[in-house]
Structure 1
Amino acid sequence: MKTKIKMPLRGSCFCSFGILYLFLNSFILPTASYTLKDCRVTQNRQAICQNNNLKVFPKDIPARVTSIELSGNKISRLSKTDLKDLPNLLRLHVTRNRISKIESSTFVVQISLKVLMLNNNRLCKLQEGMFDGLVNLVELRLTSNQIQTVEPASFKSLSKLSILDLGHNKLCHLTNFFVQHTPLLTHLYIPANKISTFHSWELSNKSTELVTLDLSQNELMFFRLTAGIFPKLKTFNLEDGMKKGIVWEVNDTSYLSSVVRLDISGVRSSIHGLQHVLETFNSSSSLRYLHLNQINNSLQVLINVSCKIPKLSFFEIRNNGIKVIRSDLLHSCTYLKKLDLGMNEITEISNNSFQSLRLLNTLILKSNCLTSVPYAVRKTQISTLDLSCNNINVLGCDDFANMTRLRGLYLYNNPLLALKDCVFKDLVNLNILMLQNSSIDQLNGAFKENTPNLKTLSLINNTLTVLDHGEFKALKSLQTLSLKGNKLEQLNDGTFFGLSSLTHLNLESNKITEITNSTFGDLKALKTLNLRSNQIKYSSVEPILYPPFAELSQLDTLFISAQTRYHKRLNFPQNFLQGLTNLSILYMESNHLTSVHPHTFNYTPNLNELVMSKNFLTDIPDSLFSPIQRLKSLYISMTMLRSLDFLLHANLTELEMLQVSYNTFTVIREPVMLSLPALTDLDMQGNTFTCNCDNAWFLQWVITNQQTQVFNAYNFECSYPPNLKGRKLLQIDVRSCTVDTDFICYISTACAVIMTLAVSFTHHFLQWHLVYAYYLMLAFLYNSKNKEKRAHQYDAFVSYNANDEGWVLGELLPKLEDEQGWRLCLHHRDFQPELFSSSRRVHKRISYPL
């Protein structure tokens, strides 16, 4: 049971109306919390609970969530009560936990669940009833458990299962349980188990719907396919899955005729065994993709056999220790369209090595030992060439001669040092050029005249210090240019001249100290500009004559963060953002800003996301955010904010995400939160709160509001008063603080009005009735007061006319005295002169009510 700590009062006394209101508020209004203890819910109804050291399934996840991410915790079991209130789940990820048991009927309510991820747990056995209820499950992942046994009825509810992954377990045999109850199963993954034999009758005795079968890393000794159970099989993976001396029996080659992709990499079978496998696909096969990596044994023979497969178009021969490509190695592979020779040790390639590959479109030679561009590539008609991660240090003018069809060229991770102006002269159709991590210090005009159709150019992590005027003027089609991680100190006027189509420019992690309007003046189409981690510095917030972004009216995203690596403070001029009328996302964190001019955002009316974290903005001008009323996400963490009152004047009616974590404010006032009607996510963690009645409203709001999720609120701590320091804010009892003055005033006014109306009505319509009641009340009180002081001899005095004497004596007297027990006073019988005065008083008393 949660401990409640009484919150100390502050200021005034509280009346019974407040207690009544709190009682009504607690029992009439909804109190289901939207703030979760161990998770957070995203706007797309996903509960994120990963890496929280949870030992049990969280109980406070709302029923509306459709996806739960619980990876990286310490949950040891799933019980039938864990998910009983979550009927809308579509995806459940419980990977990297310690689950060893799943109770029967745990998923009985999850009829909508489609994806269940249980990888990296400690399950040893799949039992009957474990997956009951999962009638719509499509994907089940059980990789990296300790599963040894699968009971026959384990999958009986999984009639719509399409993907089953049991890789890296301890299964020793295939079983028909995998497909018996899963008629729609198309992808079956069983890699890295202990299966040594594959007999088709063990898996099924009839045709299956399998499209993918993965038996890799199982060291098969027997493979027997005696029936056509794989009429739709497209991908067959046997990588590192066959022992030397494997018995391969396929009664009819048509049984595997639909296979499109085959991987027999790393197998330890004999050359004859591999030949036997490949020959299975030689005749009527549809095989187009073949992976023959890590063979290191009679490679030429296997290549010759492989190239006889009539439809083979993609051939991967990686990591085979090849040092020299001779002209006859691939001579018979005339139908290849894509050849991957990466991760070998190639130092030399014969000039005619690829001449017979008339249909070759893509050539991959990455991660080898080439020192220059092979002459053999010039004799191809390829459109993609990958020479990355080699030792090429010079690019000659004729290295790509006549390669006019080349569209993608990958040269990254080579020690190129410098380029020549003629290197790319024939690459008129080149679209993608990747030159990152190549120690390039000079471009030497390589892009001033060539590659007019280039769309993507990467020069990341080189050593460029200067870019000449018009360095990229030929790249009129370029859309993405990345110069991240160079040593650029200054961008000269006209550096980007000609880049009229450029939409993305990355200048991150350089040493740029100054930018002007002429720097980016030619980039009219630019949408994303990254200037993060440079050394741009302004000394004053006063307006500047030439704002740097004045011409970038189409810019959508700007990164201007972390400009303080070599100086301690930065101030942006008040018109720094002038011209950015369409800016939607702005990152300006980690700049050590001490102040922001109130007019800073006057030029960005369409700003949607703003990041200002990691600065020194102890106070923010009240009118700073007024011009950006379309803002939806605001991040101001770690800025030493002392108050959030600036939000009262911001009019941020569309703000959905507010992050103000790790600041120094201690009190959250009610008007601040009420000024953000669209807020759905609030991050305030890392602040220390005052635990008195100043925060009473905020505490109640965190617990009861149904719109805004306050991230990690259960860990908010008190900083004041001293006796509560370190206690959790949500453990504080605020009932003594909850007095609603407005409510009290309402009740008081209502009572006064009702009373006034009642008095007026009564006085007007019931005046004489009240007078009569008043005297009647006086008589009653008088009689009650003197009741015991007087002794009455008679009950009544009867006054009558002489003509009625016969009736009185004959009928009235017997009835009242004889039958009723009354004692009557008659003047002719009981009247005595000495009792006259007493009789008068009795008469008066008796006759008055009559």
Structure 2
Amino acid sequence: MPAQEKLPERLKHLDLSHNYLSSYVNEENVFLRMPTLISLNLSSNSILTTMENYHEDVFQNFTRLKVLDVSNNTDYFAEIRENQLLDSVWSPLISLEKLNIDAVQNVTFGESIGNLTKLTNLTLAGQCTHARLTLIDKDYFQHFPYLKILDLSSNVYYNAVKHYYDDVGYACSLEQIDSGAISILQNLEILDVSYNRLLGLCGFRNISYDLPQTNIKIFKANFLHCESGMSFMLFCDDIKPLKNTSLRELHMDGNHLAFGQMGLIQYIPQSLERLSIKSNRWVVDQYTHVFLEFINGIKYVDLSNLNDHQMSRSFNIYEYCHNYLASVNCQKYRGQSLGTEQTPQTDGDCPLENATSSQQYTEVGEGRIEIRPPVSEHSKPYCSVDFDLYNLHVLYKKVPPNAETIVLNNSRLGLELTWTVFRNDTLTSLILSHNQFYSMMGPICNATKLKHLDLSHNRCSRISTYVFEYQPNLETLWLNDNLIGDSNLFEHENMNNIFANQSSLKVLNLTSNKFHWIPRDMFWNLRNLRHLRLDKNRLSDWNFTVGHMNKIEIVNLSMNSILSLSDEGIDLINHCPSQNLRIDLSQNPLQCTCKTQRFVEWMSKNSEKFLNIDSYRFDCTEKQNLTETKNYLTKQCSSYFSVILACSCLGMAFVCFILVVILYRYRFKLRYWYYIKLKIDSTHVNPLDSRQYRFDAFISYADEDRSFAIEQMLENLEKKEGLRLCIHHRDFMPGTSIIENISNAIHCSSKVVFVMTNSFLKSEWCMYEFQAAKAESQYSFSRQGSMMLFLMREKFLVRKIPNSIQTMLDNDTYIEYPVNSEDEPEFWVTLARAIQD
């Protein structure tokens, strides 16, 4: 014990549990004299419950103490001592409200504890020891007149701890509670005798007969038989006294109950609100359903875990039942009113006490539940206010008129959740998980107030689109651990309507359903959804819309097959209006490639949207987190991008250079093809109507030679020789481009005459006219012979003449303009003949 002077002043709560304390006395022979303490926890030490430790001076200053826990202080091998009376030790604890102490043989509480008027909560810890209390006689609680809460439960499950001792069961359990022991406690409201595996239903019966003398509200009598023991029948006499109580909760879990005597329901008090009879062995047919529809006050019923028998337990031990013969004798004793003592009959009915009971029993006999053939999945059933009681397709379920919660988890139900009608529309929670509903067709009718529906762990691979159509108020729907992803739902044309009426849904669990993909509009009406679980599936992308979910908070996509999110998936997330959206992508095989760089950068930019983002690992050269992956991809992908961009730019520049060279080299031919072939030929005008051209010659000259062309050539060739010349200063059409006029003139002229001067060679338009005439001469099939005539009017150096013109001058004859004026008449005649040739 710590020294007094080292403790803080005004200490209110002190916890010294799980130490090695063996005594309340310290070196100064003073035990923690602290009057300010409100709670003191000395549990799980080695302070034995003896008069030496609990002498009158131990708690003398604890006048304000309200909670005292000295339980679990008795060692397993503790010896059974002679009678120990703990009396005056309790007198100082005038404020004590709750006491936890070991239930040890031969230890009793004296009269002084009866003066603690505030002591309403007592726990007699059922620790596994050889000194464990086994018998509670009728006078054991005579000094506890104010108790409201009494816990006599064993601390451990029968074989969960110290199972290597063969007699562990005997060291953990009460064996008997005498009649009258509980009736003394007139203020008792809560009683728990659970996990006393040797107490049995005989001990239960003794207690039930005492309860009418108490103010009992909650009675817990769970697991009163050894785990591998025989099955039992619940007799009317077991619960008959409960009818005269105001009981609100009754728990009888794990008592190997397989049958219920017909008519026992009349003894269930109408005040009962919660009934738990799970983990029993109820057989099929009438005994499974004890016709609870006649208990008006009941709101909660738990009939789950009918498969929770000894062979399916998780403990690696097959418990040997030491008290098997005692269980047999107890069954004979409890059933001696039926048949003979040697062969008690289990099919006898409870005696009816009044007309009301008789009427109820008659209704029970006529109201048995029958399973009818399922309705065809090709015709959609309907829910109506007036149901046909003789409809062969409907499964009618009777529940208490005010029932709110029905738990049928792991209750051997199946194989199909067919067209089901509840006779009373009161349910708010229905749990049907861990059954064998391989098919869920529905609909579920007359359950419009249902808020929580659990259909998980049913391995369902066949489901209809209307199964939830008549539950508009659902807030939580659990469909996890089924096979909906492999069902034919996604082949149905109305697949998007499976949750069409669940606008109030807040939580939807679709975990472990083998979904490969989610239809885009599957959740189109879930506007109030807050939590969507799609983890442990096979999804590879986000492909469903959330743009209408204003309140969505969590979308769990962990443990899927997502390598990255596509651009479409990212856009769908970005359109979500909820500011509280959080996405879980943990434990996905996220890729680290240049193709996923945009996804990684987007995730880094929106890191607040992702849950557990620090745990994400990307498959780069080694597993890396988000920040490392982003830096890695920035370095790797940017270098590749620069190389690719540089090569692309160089390639494009080279191609453009080649195109420019080609275009420049053949610019005149291209212009010719454009204006002649595309413009003129497209009009289907043939320039050779009757083998005639519009002009005999097109005169190509520089602007500096205009006077020669207009004065000399027109005078001598048109007026004297009668030729038709095309002079661009006179014959070009106004409003038309020069290029088009040139092309038209050459195309419509029989010959082209080039007036070769130094000005001609410098003129860009003259050179264009030369190239156009050359192209016309080469590519026009209507031409025969050369159409180009060169009139050499000036003398100039050969190096000034372009190669293309020089080549033609070398191969073809040309006409030189005469130096002497007397030779001009003959020159013009010769030129006219050349044009007309």
- The reply to whether residue 187 of structure 1 matches residue 187 of structure 2 is no
> 1:314 aligns to what?
121
Letter in 1 for 2:5: N
Counterpart of 1:357 (choices 180, 185, 204) is: 185
Letter in 1 for 2:16: I
CA pair 397-303 structure 1, distance change in 2 beyond 3 A? farther
- The reply to whether residue 397 of structure 1 matches residue 268 of structure 2 is no
Letter in 2 for 1:333: F
How far the C-alpha of 1:303 sits from its partner, in A, is 6.3
Counterpart of 1:537 (choices 461, 465, 469) is: 461
> 1:256 aligns to what?
62
> 1:552 aligns to what?
471
Match runs of 1:66-105 below 5 Å: none
Counterpart of 1:374 (choices 205, 221, 241) is: 205
Structure 1 stretches of 5 or more lacking a match?
Answer: 1-171, 200-219, 657-676, 742-850
CA pair 234-579 structure 1, distance change in 2 beyond 3 A? same
Question: Contact 1:365–1:387 (CA<8 Å) still a contact in 2?
Answer: yes
Question: Contact 2:505–2:526 (CA<8 Å) still a contact in 1?
Answer: yes
CA pair 304-272 structure 1, distance change in 2 beyond 3 A? farther
How far the C-alpha of 1:458 sits from its partner, in A, is 1.2
Match runs of 1:381-780 below 5 Å: 381=214, 382-391=216-225, 393-401=232-240, 402-425=243-266, 426-442=268-284, 444=287, 445-462=289-306, 468=370, 473-490=398-415, 497-518=422-443, 520-538=444-462, 547-564=466-483, 571-572=489-490, 573=492, 574=495, 575-618=497-540, 621=543, 624-626=545-547, 628=549, 630-641=551-562, 643-650=565-572, 653-654=575-576, 683-692=585-594, 694-696=595-597, 707-708=608-609, 711-713=612-614, 716-719=617-620, 724=621, 729-730=629-630, 732=632, 734=634
How far the C-alpha of 1:233 sits from its partner, in A, is 2.9
CA pair 349-471 structure 1, distance change in 2 beyond 3 A? farther
Letter in 1 for 2:182: F
Greater shift in the superposed pair: 728-737 or 386-395? 728-737
> 1:79 aligns to what?
none
Deviation readout 1:425-467 (Å, 9 max, x if unpaired): 2320111111121122345452344322112211121159x96
Relative to the length of structure 1, the TM-score reads: 0.53
Q: Distance in 1 between matches of 2:517 and 2:24?
A: 71
How far the C-alpha of 1:530 sits from its partner, in A, is 0.8
Q: Name the SS for the 2:237 alignment partner.
A: coil
CA pair 312-688 structure 1, distance change in 2 beyond 3 A? closer
Question: Contact 2:479–2:510 (CA<8 Å) still a contact in 1?
Answer: yes
> 1:224 aligns to what?
30
CA pair 238-705 structure 1, distance change in 2 beyond 3 A? closer
CA pair 393-472 structure 1, distance change in 2 beyond 3 A? farther
Question: Contact 2:559–2:588 (CA<8 Å) still a contact in 1?
Answer: no
CA pair 173-595 structure 1, distance change in 2 beyond 3 A? closer
Q: Distance in 1 between matches of 2:98 and 2:234?
A: 32
CA pair 593-484 structure 1, distance change in 2 beyond 3 A? same
How far the C-alpha of 1:471 sits from its partner, in A, is 7.5
Letter in 2 for 1:589: T
Q: Name the SS for the 2:260 alignment partner.
A: coil
Q: Distance in 1 between matches of 2:11 and 2:412?
A: 55
> 1:847 aligns to what?
none
More helix by share: 2
CA pair 239-691 structure 1, distance change in 2 beyond 3 A? closer
Greater shift in the superposed pair: 497-506 or 639-648? 639-648
How far the C-alpha of 1:307 sits from its partner, in A, is 4.6
How far the C-alpha of 1:551 sits from its partner, in A, is 0.9
Deviation readout 1:386-430 (Å, 9 max, x if unpaired): 110113822112322224311111101110013345334232011
CA pair 618-176 structure 1, distance change in 2 beyond 3 A? same
Counterpart of 1:328 (choices 139, 148, 158) is: 139
Q: Distance in 1 between matches of 2:503 and 2:554?
A: 18
> 2:153 aligns to what?
342
Question: Contact 1:288–1:312 (CA<8 Å) still a contact in 2?
Answer: yes
Question: Contact 1:265–1:295 (CA<8 Å) still a contact in 2?
Answer: no
How far the C-alpha of 1:557 sits from its partner, in A, is 1.1
Q: Name the SS for the 1:505 alignment partner.
A: strand
Q: Distance in 1 between matches of 2:153 and 2:611?
A: 50
Question: Contact 2:274–2:298 (CA<8 Å) still a contact in 1?
Answer: yes
Q: Distance in 2 between matches of 1:707 and 1:492?
A: 42
Q: Distance in 1 between matches of 2:188 and 2:208?
A: 11
Deviation readout 1:683-725 (Å, 9 max, x if unpaired): 3554342344x55555556666674457455763344xxxx46
Q: Name the SS for the 2:406 alignment partner.
A: strand
How far the C-alpha of 1:555 sits from its partner, in A, is 0.2
Question: Contact 2:542–2:569 (CA<8 Å) still a contact in 1?
Answer: no
How far the C-alpha of 1:329 sits from its partner, in A, is 3.0
How far the C-alpha of 1:559 sits from its partner, in A, is 1.2
Letter in 1 for 2:123: E
Deviation readout 1:545-602 (Å, 9 max, x if unpaired): x70111100001111122239x965645402223212112211222223444444223
Q: Distance in 2 between matches of 1:177 and 1:283?
A: 24
Q: Name the SS for the 2:422 alignment partner.
A: coil
CA pair 295-263 structure 1, distance change in 2 beyond 3 A? farther
Q: Distance in 1 between matches of 2:117 and 2:82?
A: 21
Q: Distance in 2 between matches of 1:238 and 1:679?
A: 46
Q: Distance in 1 between matches of 2:606 and 2:440?
A: 47
Structure 2 stretches of 5 or more lacking a match?
Answer: 155-171, 226-230, 309-367, 372-394, 643-837
> 1:846 aligns to what?
none
Q: Distance in 2 between matches of 1:477 and 1:318?
A: 37
* Count, aligned residues: 511
> 1:757 aligns to what?
none
> 1:142 aligns to what?
none
Question: Contact 1:196–1:222 (CA<8 Å) still a contact in 2?
Answer: no
Letter in 1 for 2:634: V
> 2:109 aligns to what?
302
Relative to the length of structure 2, the TM-score reads: 0.53
> 2:100 aligns to what?
291
Q: Name the SS for the 1:433 alignment partner.
A: strand
Greater shift in the superposed pair: 501-510 or 547-556? 501-510
How far the C-alpha of 1:507 sits from its partner, in A, is 0.7
Question: Contact 1:409–1:433 (CA<8 Å) still a contact in 2?
Answer: yes
